[in-house]
Amino acid sequence: MERQFKTKRITENNNWSLNFLYENPLGRCLLKVIIQPPLTKLAGVYLNSSLSKGMINRFIKKNGLKMEDYEPMSYTSFNHFFMREIKPTARVLFQDRGSLSAPCDGKVTVYPISDKQTFKVKHSEYALSELLDSTSLAEKWQGGCAVIFRLTPDDYHHYYFIDEGTIVAHQKIAGVFHTVQPIAIHSQPVFSTNAREVTVIETKNFGEIVQIEVGALIVGKIKNVKTSGNCQRFEKKGWFEFGGSTVILLFQKNQVIIDPEIWVNTEQNLETIVKLGQVVGKKMEESHE
């Protein structure tokens, strides 16, 4: 794995509205109101309406989107645009079965899962049992690692299965919505309170894994299209609606080797920028000379 990745500094700098909501006492009171399901549903109604189409061009310009990478079509709403499909030629999907490829676009960090069932995410410590809503399930991943893909507005918001295998279990866990911006992760236990979906998969090459999709502020809806049966490498698992999003992969001990550069970047407070299909590691036995 000699490839050089691009990186992004993990920063606490955010726009004034996020600072107000997460750091100002009045803002935190307001946040408790706007993250409740009735208001997130109301926001969803607007984003799914034709009235929201005016947001599209501003969003493209602000985030520097390369629209030539996406299938051309006429969008009926902002959410329709946000869920846009990418052209097959816009991402390189590595077919080596021993390689671990990214399930989505994202800014990646990796953390060991400690004996205490916790791991750190951007200065905050999270209990794996809370994340999975299961103490017994969390115990199976002790000594493994958590690979976190934080999607940002410039990313393609669909995600895929990393390997062929069988879906063992799937669970929806209700929660409130917080942004996945670093300021919220620093202030709140984001990954243990947000709505999320947990899928346990017995894979052919990486053992039993967990793939978790985490919703985010305002809408952040998770749309999984397959929750049972068999899955294939690079088969679409689902997508996120507008609101920001995160995909987390959990691997058991001695199953994978994550690219050392990603470990070093994480230790240096850097996120590693990857695209769907990009190789981020290998299964353990493939790593031995």
Exactly one of 77, 105, 163, 187 is catalytic; name it. 105
The burial of 72, by beta-carbon neighbours within 10 Å (0-12 exposed, 13-18 middle, 19 or more buried), is given as exposed
105 is catalytic: yes
- The C-alpha atoms of residue 279 and residue 267 are separated, in whole angstroms, by 20
Between CA 213 and CA 195 the distance in angstroms is 9
Q: Closest Cα partner for 209 from 163, 148, 152, 274? A: 163
Neighbouring-strand partners of residue 202:
166, 208
SS3 282: strand
Q: Which residue has the tokens 């995410």?
A: 121
Residue 36, C-beta contacts closer than 8 angstroms, at least 6 positions apart:
176
Where helices occur in 144-251 by DSSP H, the ranges are 182-187, 190-193
Q: Is 271 helix (H, G, I), strand (E, B) or coil?
A: strand
Active-site annotation holds for 49: no
**Choice among 77, 101, 245, 259 that is catalytic:** 245
Q: Supply the residues annotated as catalytic.
A: 105, 245
